[in-house]
Amino acid sequence: MSTELERRLEGLFAEAPEPDPGAGAEALHRALRALRPVAPPHRGLRAGVLAFAGVVVLLVIAAGSLAAAGALHVSIGAKAKPKPPATTRLSLPKGAGASGIAAIVNGRLSVVIKGGFGLQASATAAALSPHALYVAAGIRHSLVAIAPSGRHAFSHPAGGRVVAIAWAPDGFRIAYVVRVGRHFLLRAIYGNGRHDELIDSSVRPVRPSWRADSLAFAYVGAGGKAIVYDLGHQSRSILGSPAPVTRLAFAPRGNRLLVATPGAAFLGRKTVATGEIEAIGWLQDRATVAVESGATEPLVRTFAPSGRPLEAFRVPGRVLGVTGGLVVTRTTSKILAGWRTKRVSTVLGVRNATVVEHLEIG
Amino acid sequence: MRRARRGDREAASALFRRYWRDAWRAAYAITGRRALADDVAADGFERAFAALGRFDDRRPFGPWLHRIVANRALDLLRAERRLADEELPDTPDRTPAHAEGDRGLLAAVADLSLERRVVVVLRYGVGMTPKQIADALDLPVGTVNSRLARALEQLRETLEVEHVD
């Protein structure tokens, strides 16, 4: 027999709010992508024709989305060609053994790999896969993976603007941050574009960093603290820091995590540098911190995994990052990569107004 | 259902439209947050459609889907619960229209433990029987019944205290 309380509960849930139509549309799209057809016992001609028509429709949709994203140019009839966006002439750093380089310059993603292929597309974030076989990019409100040859691997609706992407060292997973309204969500997806899952519904827009074994990655939670998420145990470890974390970098071997706040850099619990941190990363097994030093050139300091200081050197311009075992700096006219290899090369020519949002060497 | 299992997108879309609202509302009732409900319900459908080939189509689709949605919501909320308080944006974003209906009861349900809240939502929000809830959550029916009884007892106590205040 239903009690008064039970009737109130039924009434309460009956008054629950309705889902947003937009959420339903996105969910339907995701659900249909996940559909795995079970083959009927006998495939007839009709099924073949339907499947072919489906493939044609999907190809048209894919071509349309790529055309809209700028990765593929489609021209029909005598319509006047729009002026193509300016080409970014990105070059691989010499003598560093790099497989590829990706940069977002003035909102356009540019990728160049060793074999000579290159692609350009409008993008909000990007990350190279291991060996630069693919690049994952935030294009409109989707996470898209493209081979540098231009071949489209997958496109996954992200539900918002993708602001940061990190590809796991083993290539099997991608962690990415999406802006939805005023909030940022952290999601992870398989490298083939399947099994997308929400990891944290409130994070900061900082690029996650994968541990060398690809079983965990670090990100910055909404409270500004570094969090290491273990995929195997689905557990989180929160790392204390005196100020909000702005950058993270796991070592390419082992599990040492280098963390930067606006005024200091930490390797594990040890403070390794203070001052305005321009960039952090790893030069092989050396934790590397670039500190802005006012009028003089930035100081780059390296440390053993234990935190013991190893070397310090100055580099020209402003340090953009430490990536692919190289320090990348920006001067008034060039972006340079090198120093540890003693061979510095120009990877991109720039002007004062050129905005370089992301540069990664893989 | 059979057409959807064979990959018929129109049939799958119809299946989605039929169950989306209930799945989302169940997710919302468990999580208390719209954004999380969007994700949980979408993940639930994604997983359900991916596993449609293994689904026994002689059984009803709704309870199976709600099982996936409820377990996904539990996984996410448990994962979040491991975070420190400052990382937890765990304030249910109740809309005024919803809150006006039975504000005290809503707050009391939100205060239930996750385990109790889920059985209450599945019982009174989705309309599942204790046996269906037990199947969905892989629990003995006795455990479901005792959680329901304790949840109702806790709700009564909370409401009485509020009434006295």
Judge whether B70 and B137 are in contact, CB under 8 Å: yes
Evaluate the CA torsion angle B138, A37, B1, A15 in order and state its sign: positive
Residues of B in contact with A198 (CB under 8 A): 36, 39, 43, 76
Tokens matching residue B120: 């209450």
Pick from A5, A16, A35: CB nearest B25 = A16
Evaluate the CA torsion angle A17, A21, A23, A24 in order and state its sign: positive
- SS3 assignment, position A320: strand
CA distance A348 to A56: 39
Pick from A28, A36, A39: CB nearest B52 = A36
Q: How close B15 gets to chain A, by Cα (Å)?
A: 10
Q: How close B5 gets to chain A, by Cα (Å)?
A: 6
Nearest CA in chain B to A184: B35
CB within 8 Å of B34: residues ≥ 6 apart: A17, A20, B28, B93
CB within 8 Å of A143: residues ≥ 6 apart: A136, A137, A155, A156, A158, A162, A165, A174, A176, A189, A193
Tokens matching residue B74: 């539990």
Residues of A in contact with B102 (CB under 8 A): 8, 11-12, 15
Burial class from Cβ neighbours inside 10 Å (0-12, 13-18, 19+) for residue B91 reads exposed
Element (H, E) at A277: strand A276-283
Residue B124 DSSP class: I
CA distance A29 to A157: 8
Which residues in chain B show pLDDT less than 50? Answer: 82-100, 162-165
| Residue A127: CB atoms within 10 Å | 26
- SS3 assignment, position A206: coil
CA distance A222 to A31: 29
Tokens matching residue A292: 């802005």
Judge whether B49 and B64 are in contact, CB under 8 Å: no
Provide the pLDDT for residue A114.
Answer: 82
CA distance A219 to A176: 10
Element (H, E) at A338: strand A334-338
Nearest CA in chain B to A32: B9
Judge whether B73 and A57 are in contact, CB under 8 Å: no
Burial class from Cβ neighbours inside 10 Å (0-12, 13-18, 19+) for residue A164 reads buried
Element (H, E) at A197: strand A197-200
Which residues in chain A show pLDDT less than 50? Answer: 1, 41-45, 48-49, 63-64, 66-84
List residues bridging with A178 in a β-sheet. Answer: A162, A185
Helix and strand numbers, DSSP H then E, in chain A: 3, 28
Which contacts qualify for A314-317: CB closer than 8 Å, 24 or more apart?
A: A315/A290, A315/A339
Provide the pLDDT for residue A88.
Answer: 66
User: Any idea what the Cα angle at residue A202 is, between residues B88 and B99, rounded to 5°?
Assistant: 65
Judge whether B84 and A223 are in contact, CB under 8 Å: yes
Judge whether A8 and B125 are in contact, CB under 8 Å: no
Pick from A6, A27, A35: CB nearest B42 = A27
Provide the pLDDT for residue B161.
Answer: 66
Contact B34 A20 (CB under 8 A): yes
Tokens matching residue A28: 């339907």
Q: How close B9 gets to chain A, by Cα (Å)?
A: 7
**């970014």: which residue's tokens?**
A88
**């120093």: which residue's tokens?**
A339
Provide the pLDDT for residue A37.
Answer: 66
Mutation pick from A2, A4, A28 vs chain B, by most beta carbons of B within 10 Å, is A28
Pick from B29, B45, B82: CB nearest A16 = B29
What would you measure as the largest C-alpha separation in chain B, in angstroms? 58
Nearest CA in chain A to B86: A223
Judge whether A231 and B96 are in contact, CB under 8 Å: no
Pick from A15, A19, A221: CB nearest B21 = A19
Q: How close A284 gets to chain B, by Cα (Å)?
A: 32
Q: Is the ipTM of this complex over 0.85?
A: no
Contact A35 B49 (CB under 8 A): yes
List the alpha helices (DSSP H) in chain A.
4-14, 21-34, 45-69
Buried-state track A192-202, b at ≥16 Cβ within 10 A, e below 16: ebeebbbbbbb
Residues of B in contact with A5 (CB under 8 A): 152, 155-156, 159
Evaluate the CA torsion angle A344, A349, A351, A357 in order and state its sign: negative
Residues of A in contact with B71 (CB under 8 A): none
| Residue A80: CB atoms within 10 Å | 6
Q: How close B152 gets to chain A, by Cα (Å)?
A: 8
Contact B105 A8 (CB under 8 A): yes
